[in-house]
């Protein structure tokens, strides 16, 4: 049984009397310790899917289970990183992280809580900025605080909602590397689901990429494994053959016409070194 | 530098112009004292602002102090009730729908209408005045606090949910800080109203204070002192508003 199991999930919203079907027939398995990226264009329903997984909204139909338990509300071992940081402006970086730590470890002493929060901020390179407020931090630093807040609670599952989407290209790359590094430091990898519209980012970080097929209502395409050794770097991925195929496959799936899509779907991407359908075309 | 001088001179010009209009008006209306006569008859009160010569014959700062103390009590009572009510209405739309009509009807009632009811309820003028101040001044705080809670961005609610914060923690760490600037706008408006109410209630009950002084001097035909009282009320009200404005600005800067 997979760690996260999504079965036949459907979600629509009612706006001014009209019903907007956002997701249909979404099924997904995420294994323990796996990093899965859900990649799709803006407005494709990615965020809706993540807020369903996060337990912030409930599906109209279908089931979501985490660690064998049906999801009712926010999972107790889940942590989140949002695109817009979602830091509280009246708290310093340390206080923002402590808010999460105190809630996750209510039985620890005050000193232990502070130490844990400081440690998390140190890991993302903010040891010298713990007493600054979000307003005094750059976008990249704010997102580091948000990442520290998420990992400080030692979550068993991490949800990343386009975590680098609001950052400039350079900062984005640095932070991607750091997040990849953060994952490889700990001996036990945290199960992670990230949504993004950046294919490169997905290849850099994930074990598997799940394209979200444009709707509405949107659904998930066949997942594409990213069997590349870690640690990965952006520079190395630019020339890697498999990375090139994965990139082409994801882009082809995301931009495919319905007929072309069917063809891709019937030739599922496998864990073998090449992705047949795309590889054939590229030659 | 020149800009600074101009900024200083322009208000002075405005004041000079207002004094000129006042002088001209005093020539046309025989009972209206001129600015010079007003100063002449009032300077005892201004130059010895803390002297107590009799029950109502006191220095102007002393009179203002009595009024301010009464306002402080009524205002604190008012916001002590209004703030929690505002939070409740902000959090619960059911409560809002329940009490909105009552609020809309009570809000425009004049302090002069509440005061007799206060006298009936409490039999004494002092608590009646506090009652009138509290009831009249609480509405801006209720409404601003309510709006402040409603204006909390969805992001912050999401933070509370994903961090699985308790209700109490959510309240103290998210709802209160997020609402604070709105609350202070409410407090500022409430204090302004409280200051309006105090004058009216002192005039009606004849208690010592700026309002009581104004009414007593009218009855003793010392018209210059009416003007002194009016100017004092204005200056104190302005100072109060500025002080609250500073507190508010400090909060918004966070």
The two three-digit tokens of residue B129, written as one number: 């005045």
Residue A277: pLDDT band (50, 70, 90) is low
Of B156, B162, B164, the CB nearest to A88: B156
Can you give the pLDDT of all 254 residues of chain B as single tens digits?
688 888 888 889 999 999 999 988 888 888 888 888 888 888 777 777 777 777 667 788 888 898 999 999 999 999 999 999 999 999 998 999 999 899 889 888 887 888 888 889 998 888 888 999 999 999 999 999 999 999 999 889 999 999 999 999 999 999 999 999 899 999 999 999 999 888 888 888 878 888 888 888 888 888 888 888 899 999 999 999 999 888 888 877 66
Q: Is the separation of the CB atoms in A155 and A3 below 8 Å?
A: no
The two three-digit tokens of residue B54, written as one number: 């009799």
Contact: B158, A76; criterion CB under 8 Å:
no
| ipTM greater than 0.85 | no
Strands (E), chain B: none
Q: Is the separation of the CB atoms in A227 and A270 below 8 Å?
A: no
Which chain B residues are Cβ-neighbours of A132 within 8 angstroms? none
- Mark residue A193 as left, alpha or beta (left: phi above 0; alpha: psi -120 to 50; beta: remaining): beta
Query: Which residues sit opposite A220 in a β-bridge?
Result: A212
Which chain B residues are Cβ-neighbours of A86 within 8 angstroms? 155-156, 158-159
Degrees to nearest 5, angle at CA B11 with B6 and B14: 120
pLDDT in the model for residue A118: 93
Of B156, B169, B177, the CB nearest to A103: B169
Q: Is the separation of the CB atoms in A212 and A39 below 8 Å?
A: yes
Please indicate if any CB of chain B lies within 8 Å of the CB of A164.
Answer: no
Tell me the nearest-neighbour CA distance from A246 into chain B, angstroms: 33
Q: Count of CB contacts below 8 A, A vs B?
A: 46
Q: Is the separation of the CB atoms in A213 and A261 below 8 Å?
A: yes
Chain-centroid distance, C-alpha B62: 18
Measured CA to CA, the distance from residue A281 to residue B133 in angstroms comes to 81
Of A54, A80, A90, the CB nearest to B254: A90
Task: Report the residue of A88, A136, A166 to disrupt the B interface, i.e. the one with the largest count of B CBs within 10 Å.
Answer: A88
List residues of B whose CB lies inside 8 A of any A CB. Answer: 155-156, 158-159, 161-166, 169, 173-174, 177-178, 254
Residue found by looking up tokens 């290209």 in the block: A169
Degrees to nearest 5, angle at CA A208 with A207 and A210: 155
Contact: A99, B173; criterion CB under 8 Å:
yes
Residue A274: pLDDT band (50, 70, 90) is very low
Nearest CA among B115, B143, B142 for reference residue B129: B115
What mean pLDDT do residues A13-31 have? 86
Measured CA to CA, the distance from residue A182 to residue B150 in angstroms comes to 38
Alpha carbons within 13 angstroms on the beta-carbon side of residue A106 total 6
Measured CA to CA, the distance from residue A235 to residue A228 in angstroms comes to 14
Residue of chain A with shortest Cα separation from B165: A103
pLDDT in the model for residue A281: 52
Measured CA to CA, the distance from residue A241 to residue A226 in angstroms comes to 12
Task: Report the residue of A72, A83, A90 to disrupt the B interface, i.e. the one with the largest count of B CBs within 10 Å.
Answer: A90
Query: Which residues sit opposite A66 in a β-bridge?
Result: A4, A69
Measured CA to CA, the distance from residue A28 to residue A213 in angstroms comes to 14
Alpha carbons within 13 angstroms on the beta-carbon side of residue A10 total 9
Which chain A residues are Cβ-neighbours of B158 within 8 angstroms? 56, 80, 82, 86
Measured CA to CA, the distance from residue A30 to residue A267 in angstroms comes to 21
Tell me the nearest-neighbour CA distance from A3 into chain B, angstroms: 19
Name B199's Cβ contacts closer than 8 Å, sequence gap at least 6: B67, B210, B211, B214, B233
Measured CA to CA, the distance from residue B236 to residue A275 in angstroms comes to 80
Nearest CA among B247, B249, B146, B233 for reference residue B192: B233
Residue A259: pLDDT band (50, 70, 90) is low
Residue of chain B with shortest Cα separation from A95: B173
pLDDT in the model for residue A46: 84
What mean pLDDT do residues A169-183 have? 75
Task: Report the residue of B155, B156, B163 to disrupt the A interface, i.e. the one with the largest count of A CBs within 10 Å.
Answer: B163
Q: How many CB atoms lie within 10 A of CB A117?
A: 24
Chain-centroid distance, C-alpha A56: 15
User: What's the alpha-carbon Rg for chain B, to the nearest Å?
Assistant: 22
DSSP designation for B88: H
3-state secondary structure at position A239? helix
Which chain A residues are Cβ-neighbours of B169 within 8 angstroms? 99, 102-103
Nearest CA among A112, A140, A144 for reference residue A130: A144
Q: Is the separation of the CB atoms in B89 and B99 below 8 Å?
A: yes
H/E stretch holding A210 reads strand A208-213
Nearest CA among A175, A207, A212 for reference residue A196: A212
Q: Tell me the C-alpha to C-alpha distance, in Å, between residue B49 and each of A277, B44, B46, B64, B227.
A: 94, 8, 5, 10, 16
Which chain A residues are Cβ-neighbours of B177 within 8 angstroms? 88, 90
DSSP designation for B1: -
Contact: A103, B173; criterion CB under 8 Å:
no
Of A90, A102, A104, the CB nearest to B177: A90
Residue of chain B with shortest Cα separation from A102: B165
Residue of chain A with shortest Cα separation from B154: A86
């Amino acid at each position: 049984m997979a760690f996260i199991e999504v079965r036949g999930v459907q979600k629509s919203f009612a706006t001014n009397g009209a019903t907007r079907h956002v997701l249909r027939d979404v099924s997904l398995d995420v294994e323990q310790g796996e990093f899965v990226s859900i990649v799709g264009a803006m407005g494709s329903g990615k965020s809706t899917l993540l807020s369903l997984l996060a337990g912030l909204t409930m599906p109209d139909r279908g089931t979501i289970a985490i660690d064998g338990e049906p999801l009712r509300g926010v999972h107790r071992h889940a942590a989140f990183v949002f695109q817009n940081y979602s830091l509280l402006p009246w708290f310093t970086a340390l206080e923002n992280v402590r808010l999460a730590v105190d809630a996750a470890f209510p039985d620890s002493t005050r000193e232990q809580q502070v130490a844990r929060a400081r440690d998390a901020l140190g890991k993302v390179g903010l040891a010298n900025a713990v007493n600054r407020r979000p307003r005094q931090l750059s976008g990249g630093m704010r997102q580091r605080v948000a990442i520290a807040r998420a990992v400080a609670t030692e979550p068993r599952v991490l949800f990343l909602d386009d975590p680098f989407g609001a950052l400039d290209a350079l900062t984005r790359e640095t932070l991607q590397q750091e997040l990849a590094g953060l994952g490889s430091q700990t001996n036990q990898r945290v199960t992670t689901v990230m949504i993004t519209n950046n294919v490169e980012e997905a290849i850099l970080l994930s074990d598997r990429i799940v394209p979200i097929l444009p709707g509405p209502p949107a659904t998930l395409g066949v997942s594409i494994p990213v069997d590349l050794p870690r640690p990965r770097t952006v520079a190395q991925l630019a020339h890697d053959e498999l990375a090139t195929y994965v990139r082409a496959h994801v882009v082809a799936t995301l931009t495919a016409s319905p007929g072309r899509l069917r063809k891709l779907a019937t030739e599922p991407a496998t864990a073998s070194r090449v992705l047949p359908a795309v590889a054939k075309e590229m030659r | 530098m020149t800009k600074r001088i101009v900024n200083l001179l322009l208000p002075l010009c405005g004041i000079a112009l207002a004094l000129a209009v006042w002088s001209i008006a005093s020539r046309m209306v025989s009972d209206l004292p001129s600015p010079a006569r007003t100063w002449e008859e009032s300077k005892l009160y201004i130059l010895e602002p803390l002297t107590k010569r009799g029950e109502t014959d006191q220095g102007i700062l002393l009179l203002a102090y009595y009024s301010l103390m009464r306002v402080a009590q009524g205002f604190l009572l008012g916001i002590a009730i209004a703030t929690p009510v505002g939070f409740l209405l902000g959090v619960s739309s059911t409560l809002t729908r329940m009490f909105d009509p009552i609020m809309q009807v009570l809000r425009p009632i004049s302090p002069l209408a509440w005061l007799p009811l206060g006298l009936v309820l409490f039999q004494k003028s002092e608590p009646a005045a506090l009652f009138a101040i509290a009831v009249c001044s609480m509405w801006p705080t209720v409404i601003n606090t309510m709006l402040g809670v409603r204006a909390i961005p969805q992001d912050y609610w999401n933070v509370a949910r994903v961090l699985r914060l308790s209700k109490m923690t959510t309240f103290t760490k998210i709802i209160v800080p997020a609402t604070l600037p709105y609350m202070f706008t409410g407090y500022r408006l409430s204090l302004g109203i409280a200051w309006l109410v105090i004058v009216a209630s002192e005039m009606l009950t004849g208690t010592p204070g700026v309002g009581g002084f104004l009414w007593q001097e009218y009855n003793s035909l010392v018209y210059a002192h009416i003007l002194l009282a009016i100017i004092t009320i204005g200056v104190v009200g302005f100072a109060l508003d500025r002080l609250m404005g500073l507190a508010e600005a400090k909060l918004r800067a966070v």
